[in-house]
A and B are shown apart, each in its own frame.
Chain A
Amino acid sequence: MFSLKNTQWGSLVICWRAVASMAWSVLLLLPTTALFVLLSRFSLFHPILWMSECLSLLTSASAIFSFILLCGVVLMVGFFNLEYYTVVPSIACSKIALLGQVLHPRQFVHSLVHCIMGVVVAWCCAFTIGGRYRSLGHPCTQDESGPEMCLNEYHLVLLLAGAFIGYSHSLVGVVYNMNYVSFHTMQQYKYLRFKGALPLVVKASAVQALYCLRSFLLLYFFMGYAPRAWICKTLDLSINSSIHSLDSVSSLLDLSLLYHLWISGTFLLLTWYITVLLFRIFVTEVYSFPVQSTFTEDAHQCLPKVITGTQPMILKFLALQDLALLSQHSPSRRLEVFSLSQPGGHPHIWTALSKECLSLLSDLTERLVAHHDTVATNGRAKSQSTGSNKRSTTSSEVTSVGMEDMKTPRPSALIRTPGSVFLRSSVGAGLRTPLTTPFTPDLDSPFSSPALRRLTGPLEPQGALSPGFSSIQSPHVMRRGPKLWSASTDSQLNGSPPPSPGPAPSPSQAQLKPSFLVTFLQNRKDQVKNFLAKRMLIMYLFNKLPEASSQALFADSQVHIWALQGLSHLVAASFSEDQYGIVQTTLPTILSTLLLLQEAVDRHFKLPHTSSKPGHCSCSMGDDSYKTLRFALRSTLKTAVYRITATFGGHLQ
C-alpha cells in the first residue's frame, strides 16, 4: 500500500517533467521549422523573392496543418522517450546479445513507429520545399494513351529517406544506448544547460544526417526499383518513361536533390534530438526532497523513504543525487539529517540514509568480488591448460580431496583476506560480503601436495574449489568456456559460487563422484561446444566484447558515486555539526565498508581486461558516460576515504 502510493507519486513527478519537456520541444519546433523553411528554399540570386515566398508559406493554412502534424510527431517522440528511457544502461556483453536487443519486440515497435514518423516528417518537408517534391503523383502524357497520373520519384525518394532515417535513428539508439539518461556532475540551470548543448546537437544531427544519407543513397541505388514498383502497383501510377529514373549515378548526384535530402534529414533529426535533449535535461533536474515531513500523509515523499524505495528507479537516483548535494551545499538540511526524532530521540533519518548507502556499497563489493572470482577461476584454468592431460586429472583428484575437507563448511573460512587489516573492526559488516578469492593461486595449482592442501583446505575459500570445476573437462574447453558463453552460463558451467552471502551448501554426493552417465553427457556437451567454437560466425557472435563485462558491472554506479559523496560529506560535516554524536556510532562501519570496496575496486582494475584510463568515444548524441562510470567511482571512492580521514585525522586512532 505504502510503496504503491510512493510509486504513483514518483511516476507523477516524472510524468510532469516529461510533459514540461514535451511542451518546450513543441514550442521550439516553431523556430526550427521557420529556419528549415528559410534554408530549404534558399536562393542566392533572388533574396527578396525568397523572403516573400517563405513568409507567405509560413502564414498559409496548409503550413499550419503540416506544423500540427509535426507537433504530433514531436509529442509521439516525447512519449517514446518517456516510455523507453532508462537510468541503468543495458550493456550487451556480446554481439548476439546486441542482436537480441535489436530484434526484441519492444524495440521492433519502437523502430516501426519511428519509421512511420520519419515518413510523416518527410512528407511535411516535401510539402514545405514544394516545387518538384510536392506530391506523389503528377499528370503526364504518355504516348498514345492520353493524360494520366505518373509517379513523382523525387517525392518518393524523400519519403523513403525519411523512413530510413527514422529507422536508423531507432537502431543507432539501441547500439549507442540513446535511451540512457545520465546525470551530470555539475549542476546548471536548465536554460544554460540547453544553451550549452544546442550547438553540439545541431552539429550531431547534421553529421548524422550526412551519414544516413550516404547509406540511404547506396541502398536506393541497388534496391530502389522495388519500392518504386510496389508504389506504382498499389496506387495505380505509371512511370514516366521520358524522365530518367533516379537510381542511376547521374541522377542521384543532383546537387539540389542531395541538399534537400540532407536538409530534410537534418531537420528531422534535429527536432527529435532536441526532444531527447530536453527530456534528459528536465528529467535529471535536481529534485529537492524534504528530509523530514511534518505531516504523516507526506511521509512517503521524504528523503529516507524515497531513497529506500526501488520503483521507479529514477526516483531513487534523484533522491541519492539530492542526498549528495545536500551533504555538500546546505548546512540547514544537514542539521535535519543529524537531528533526533522528537518522541524517543532516535536518529531515524541518519540511520535510514546511512544504512541504504552502506547496503548499496556492500552490494557493489559483493558484485565485484563475485566477478573477480569468475575471472580468477578462468585464469587458473588457463594455467592448467598448459600442463598435460595427466596433470589435470591429478588436479581433479587433488581437488576432490580438498573437497572432502570442504564438506563441513565453516563460517570462519569466509573471513580471510590476506592484507585486509580492516576486518577486525568490520566483523559485523564483513560477514555480509563473501570474502572469497584471496590471491593465492599457488595453493590451487596442481603442483601443491594433497597434504598441504588438506592443511590449507579449511581456510580455502570456496571459489577455487567449487564442485563442478574439477570435473573431467578438457582444459581447452574450460579455458574457452567463459569467453564463449555469457556470464550467467559461466558461473554454472564452472561452478563458481553464486554471489550469495554465507557459506554455500555442501556439495551433494552425486557431484562428488560423477557417474559414468554424467561424464558421458558432459563429454558430448564439450564436443558440441568445441565444434561450434570452430565456426567463425558463431565465434564472432558469441565472443565477449572487450570491457563490456566491466562496464556492465558498473552500469548503475552513479548511485554508488552519490552514496559515497553523500556519506563522506555528511561524515566530514558531522565533525563540527553533529550535536548528538550519532554519526560516530556508524563511523567504523562506514570506514570498513569503504575500505572493503576500495580493495575490491583496486583488484578489479588489476584485471587484464580492464583498461586503466577512460577511452574517448566520438559518438555524437548517444550518451557514453556509462562507459567511464567506473573511473569516476574509483576516484570518488579515494576522495571519500581521504575526506573522512583528513577531517578526523588523529581522532581515528
Chain B
Amino acid sequence: MHHWTKYVRVVEILRIVCLLQASVVYETFLTDAHLRFEANLATFYRIRKDSPALNLYFPRESLKPHSRQESSSKSAFRDHCETLYTRSAGAWRDAGLSGLLNEIANSSAEVPKWLGVSSSCVLALLRWVSSFHSSLFPHLTLSSEEMTAEFSQVLDWSDCAVRGFAWHPHTQKCAVALSDDSIKIYNPKSATTPTLKHRLQRSVAALQWKPLCASALAVACHNCLLVWHVDPTSLSTRPSSGCAQVLSHPGHSPVTSVAWSPNGPLLVSASPRDTALLVWDVAVESCVPLHRVGGGGVTYLSWSPDGSRVLAATPSSLFRVWETRMWTCERWPSLKGRCQSGCWSPDGSRLLFTVQGETVIYALTFTDNPGVPLMMSGGPKAATVVADLSETTLNTPDGDIMVGGEIQSLAWDPRGERLAVHVKGDAGAGRPAMIAVFKTQISPAFKLLPCGFVQGEAGTEPRLMQFNPNYQHGAQLTVCWSNGKITHVPFCFMSAGNPQPGLGGSPSFPLTQGRPADYNNQTLYTELIS
C-alpha cells in the first residue's frame, strides 16, 4: 500500500471536462499492453457516431417539490366536533399507541382525570424509553426525510434535482428519479418517455431495474417499496398506478436501499428504522424478515453480481455480509464509523467498502465456494486497506487544486476494470466534490492503479454516479451533476480478460512489480500472492 497521491502527481492527470455531449476519455498515459491506441482510435469514432443521445438536463426550477404532507392537510379537513372515542380510534389507527395516549392527554377536559393523568405518565415513560433507545442509536431521532438524506448514496440528497438513476441491466434504457417524486424512463430507441407517479411514491431514495426482466423497476419510497411494471412496448406516457405493486411491511420505513438478486426473483430492502432485512418474493408479494441483533437498522444493500452474497450496512459501526444460499450472515464490526458504501467485483470475490469519517477504501476477499455457507468456510479474517484518499494538493497547469477527502460512494464497472470513487470534498475548505477513477485488475492478483479525475462544469459537483452495464467499448460512467445535468463519460479500453481477436496479436506481458523506476507500471495496491 502506498499513498495514492505519490502516483497521482507523477502520472499525467487528465482532467475530464464533461461537456453537454458525451466526451471520450483516452488513457494514453498507460502503457498497458492490452491498450492499443490504434484500436481505440477506431472505436472512438464509432462511439461518437452511435452513442445514444441520453444527455439529460433537469433544471431545478422546473421541478416543483411536493409540499403535500399527509398529516398536515388532514387537520384542515378534520371535523373537530368528533367525539373523543372517534378521535381516539383515528389516532390509534394513524399513530398507534403513542398517538392514542397523546390524544387522550390532550383532551383532558373530556376524559376523567385519572385517565388523563395516567396517559400523560405513560406517554412520558414511553418518551423516556425511546430517548434511551435513541441514545443508543442516534439516527432514530432523525425524521424520515433527514434519514433518507443521511443514508442515501446520493450526495446532498435533499438538495438534488436528480435523486436516483438506474440503467437497465440488459438494454440501453434508464430511469431517473426526480425531486418532484416522479420517475422518468428514457429509451433512446423510443419516442415516449413514460413518467411514473404514484400516491405512495414520495422521497425516492433508490431505484433498480430487475435483472432478467424487461419491465420491472423497484423503487424505494418513503414508507413502502413500489415495483413498477412498465411495458416497454406500451405507448402510454403516464402508466397508471395499477402498474405498480406496493410492497409494505409494518415498521419498514423509510426504505433507503433496494437490491435485486442478479439471477432470481428475490428483492432485498432496507430501512434504517427496521432492524430486519426484508427479502421479498416480488411475484407473490410476500416477505421474509431476517432479524439480527445489533446495528439498529439497515441502511445500504449491495448484492454481489454473482448472486452469492449481500452486503448490508447498518447505521452503527457494524456491517454484515449475508450469504444467499442459506441466508446466514457474517458480522463485521468496523471500528471508526458506519459503512458508507460498498461495491462488489464482477465475480463476487471481492468487496470494497468505505467507512464514514475515514478516507480509505478497504477490501475484503472471499475465496470460498459460493455454495458453502460462510460460517464453515474460511472467509476473510480482516479487511485490508487498498487506497488512501486523504486530502492533498495537486499541481496542475491551472494552478493547485485540493483533492481527496471522505468517500461518498463507490462504483465498479461490470467488467471489473475501472473503479469510480465519489469523493465528498469540502466546499468550505476549497476541496470540491469529485470523482476519482482507478484502473483495477482482479485476476490473477488484485491491483489498483490511479487513472484520472472526472470533473464537471465550473461550479458543479457530482451527486450520483453509475456505470452503464451495456457499454460495448469499455466502461461508461454516468454522472448526475448538481445543476441537474446527466452526462456520460466513456472510458475506452480493451478488456484484459478477453482481448478481441484481430486487433493485434502481440503477446501481453504482465505488469512488472517491484520496479520503482517504471512508474507507469507501478500500482497503488497489489495483492501479495503467497
For the complex formed, measure the closest distance between the CB of B488 and the CB atoms of chain A, giving whole angstroms.
23
For the complex formed, measure the closest distance between the CB of B308 and the CB atoms of chain A, giving whole angstroms.
8
Partner of A196, one of B283, B291, B307: B291
Q: Which of chain B's residues has its CB closest to A627's CB? A: B284
Q: Give residues 615-641 of A contacting B (CB, 8 Å).
A: 616, 625, 628-629, 631-632, 634-636, 638-639
Interface hit among B5-13, B321-329, B430-438? B321-329
Contact (Cβ within 8 A) B213 A632 = no
Contact (Cβ within 8 A) B371 A639 = no
A614 to B370, CA, bound (A): 33
Interface residues as binary, A310-340 with B (CB distance below 8 Å gives 1, 0 otherwise): 0000000000000001001111000000000
Query: Within 8 Å CB of A634, what residues of B?
Result: 283
For the complex formed, measure the closest distance between the CB of A270 and the CB atoms of chain B, giving whole angstroms.
21
Contact (Cβ within 8 A) B263 A646 = no
Judge whether B526 is part of the interface by a CB distance below 8 angstroms: no
Contact (Cβ within 8 A) A330 B245 = no
Judge whether B379 is part of the interface by a CB distance below 8 angstroms: no
Query: Within 8 Å CB of B245, what residues of A?
Result: 613
Query: Within 8 Å CB of A632, what residues of B?
Result: 265, 281, 283-284
A270 to B263, CA, bound (A): 38
Contact (Cβ within 8 A) B266 A330 = no
A159 to B495, CA, bound (A): 77
Contact (Cβ within 8 A) B212 A329 = no
Contact (Cβ within 8 A) B266 A329 = no
A184 to B327, CA, bound (A): 13
Q: Which of chain B's residues has its CB closest to A613's CB? A: B245
Query: Within 8 Å CB of B325, what residues of A?
Result: 187, 325, 329
For the complex formed, measure the closest distance between the CB of A611 and the CB atoms of chain B, giving whole angstroms.
12
Contact (Cβ within 8 A) A614 B285 = yes
Query: Contacts A632-B265, A636-B265 hold; do A646 and B284 have CB atoms under 8 A apart?
Result: no
Query: Within 8 Å CB of B289, what residues of A?
Result: 196
For the complex formed, measure the closest distance between the CB of B274 and the CB atoms of chain A, giving whole angstroms.
14
Query: Within 8 Å CB of B282, what residues of A?
Result: 635
Query: Contacts A187-B327, A196-B289, A646-B170 hold; do A328 and B263 have CB atoms under 8 A apart?
Result: yes
Judge whether A192 is part of the interface by a CB distance below 8 angstroms: yes
Interface residues as binary, A156-188 with B (CB distance below 8 Å gives 1, 0 otherwise): 000000000000000000000000000011111
Contact (Cβ within 8 A) A189 B326 = yes
A258 to B292, CA, bound (A): 37
Judge whether B286 is part of the interface by a CB distance below 8 angstroms: yes
Contact (Cβ within 8 A) A186 B170 = no
For the complex formed, measure the closest distance between the CB of B66 and the CB atoms of chain A, giving whole angstroms.
26
A569 to B286, CA, bound (A): 24
For the complex formed, measure the closest distance between the CB of B259 and the CB atoms of chain A, giving whole angstroms.
15
Judge whether A24 is part of the interface by a CB distance below 8 angstroms: no
Query: Contacts A185-B281, A631-B284, A632-B284 hold; do A639 and B213 have CB atoms under 8 A apart?
Result: yes
Q: Which of chain B's residues has its CB closest to A628's CB? A: B284
Contact (Cβ within 8 A) B279 A628 = no
Q: Which of chain A's residues has its CB closest to B214's CB? A: A642
Query: Within 8 Å CB of A646, what residues of B?
Result: 170, 212
What total of A-B pairs shows CB separation below 8 Å? 76
Query: Contacts A186-B266, A329-B325 hold; do A625 and B283 have CB atoms under 8 A apart?
Result: no
Judge whether B136 is part of the interface by a CB distance below 8 angstroms: no
Judge whether B288 is part of the interface by a CB distance below 8 angstroms: yes
What is the interface size of chain A, counting residues whose CB is below 8 A from a CB of the partner?
30
Contact (Cβ within 8 A) B285 A643 = no
Q: Which of chain B's residues has its CB closest to A639's CB? A: B212
Q: Which of chain B's residues has its CB closest to A629's CB? A: B284
Q: Give residues 68-116 of B contacting A (CB, 8 Å).
A: none
For the complex formed, measure the closest distance between the CB of A244 and the CB atoms of chain B, giving whole angstroms.
32
Query: Within 8 Å CB of B263, what residues of A?
Result: 328, 569, 643
A21 to B266, CA, bound (A): 29
Contact (Cβ within 8 A) A330 B281 = no
Query: Contacts A186-B266, A613-B245 hold; do A635 and B328 have CB atoms under 8 A apart?
Result: no
Query: Within 8 Å CB of A188, what residues of B?
Result: 288, 326-327
A636 to B281, CA, bound (A): 11
Most A C-beta atoms less than 10 A away, residue of B245, B282, B290, B326: B326
Contact (Cβ within 8 A) B213 A638 = yes
Contact (Cβ within 8 A) A614 B327 = no
Contact (Cβ within 8 A) B327 A185 = no
A638 to B212, CA, bound (A): 8
For the complex formed, measure the closest distance between the CB of B247 and the CB atoms of chain A, giving whole angstroms.
11
Interface residues as binary, B271-300 with A (CB distance below 8 Å gives 1, 0 otherwise): 000000001011111101111000000000
Query: Within 8 Å CB of A635, what residues of B?
Result: 213, 265, 282-283
For the complex formed, measure the closest distance between the CB of B328 and the CB atoms of chain A, giving whole angstroms.
7
Q: Give residues 531-565 of A contacting B (CB, 8 Å).
A: none
Contact (Cβ within 8 A) A196 B288 = yes
Partner of A185, one of B170, B214, B265, B291: B265
A625 to B264, CA, bound (A): 18
A569 to B325, CA, bound (A): 15
Q: Which of chain B's residues has its CB closest to A636's CB? A: B265
Contact (Cβ within 8 A) A186 B279 = yes
A397 to B214, CA, bound (A): 48
For the complex formed, measure the closest distance between the CB of B231 and the CB atoms of chain A, giving whole angstroms.
12
Query: Within 8 Å CB of B326, what residues of A?
Result: 187-189
A341 to B136, CA, bound (A): 62
For the complex formed, measure the closest distance between the CB of A628 and the CB atoms of chain B, giving whole angstroms.
4
Contact (Cβ within 8 A) B288 A186 = yes
A600 to B9, CA, bound (A): 64
Query: Within 8 Å CB of B283, what residues of A?
Result: 614, 628, 631-632, 634-636
Query: Within 8 Å CB of A616, what residues of B?
Result: 285
Query: Within 8 Å CB of B370, what residues of A?
Result: 329
For the complex formed, measure the closest distance between the CB of B244 and the CB atoms of chain A, giving whole angstroms.
10
Q: Which of chain B's residues has its CB closest to A187's CB? A: B326
Most B C-beta atoms less than 10 A away, residue of A325, A613, A629, A639: A639
For the complex formed, measure the closest distance between the CB of B292 and the CB atoms of chain A, giving whole angstroms.
10
Q: Give residues 460-502 of B contacting A (CB, 8 Å).
A: none
A639 to B263, CA, bound (A): 8
Query: Within 8 Å CB of A325, what residues of B?
Result: 325
Q: Give residues 170-225 of A contacting B (CB, 8 Å).
A: 184-189, 192, 196
Contact (Cβ within 8 A) A625 B291 = no
Interface residues as binary, A347-371 with B (CB distance below 8 Å gives 1, 0 otherwise): 0000000000000000000000000
A631 to B227, CA, bound (A): 14
Q: Which of chain B's residues has its CB closest to A641's CB? A: B212
A616 to B245, CA, bound (A): 12
Query: Contacts A329-B325, A634-B283 hold; do A643 and B212 have CB atoms under 8 A apart?
Result: yes
A638 to B279, CA, bound (A): 20
Query: Within 8 Å CB of B307, what residues of A?
Result: 328
Q: Which of chain B's residues has its CB closest to A615's CB? A: B285
Query: Within 8 Å CB of A328, what residues of B?
Result: 263-264, 307
Query: Within 8 Å CB of B213, what residues of A?
Result: 635, 638-639, 642
Most A C-beta atoms less than 10 A away, residue of B213, B265, B289, B307: B265
A636 to B265, CA, bound (A): 7
Query: Within 8 Å CB of A329, what residues of B?
Result: 325, 370-371
Interface residues as binary, B209-246 with A (CB distance below 8 Å gives 1, 0 otherwise): 00011100000000000000000000000000000010
Query: Within 8 Å CB of B327, what residues of A?
Result: 186-188, 192
Contact (Cβ within 8 A) A642 B212 = yes
For the complex formed, measure the closest distance between the CB of A331 and the CB atoms of chain B, giving whole angstroms.
8
Q: Give residues 367-392 of B contacting A (CB, 8 Å).
A: 369-371
Contact (Cβ within 8 A) A628 B285 = yes
Q: Which of chain A's residues has its CB closest to B370's CB? A: A329
Query: Within 8 Å CB of A330, what residues of B?
Result: 369, 371
List, sorted by A's number, 5 A–B pairs whose CB atoms are closer than 8 Å.
Answer: A185-B266, A613-B285, A638-B213, A639-B213, A646-B170
Residues of chain B whose beta carbon lies under 8 Å from any beta carbon of chain A? 170, 212-214, 245, 263-266, 279, 281-286, 288-291, 307, 325-328, 369-371
10 closest A-B pairs (Cβ-Cβ)? A628-B284, A635-B283, A642-B212, A329-B371, A632-B283, A639-B212, A330-B371, A631-B283, A185-B281, A614-B285
Q: With A325-B325, A614-B285, A639-B212 given, name 8 new contacts (CB 8 A).
A: A186-B327, A196-B288, A196-B289, A328-B307, A330-B369, A616-B285, A629-B284, A631-B284
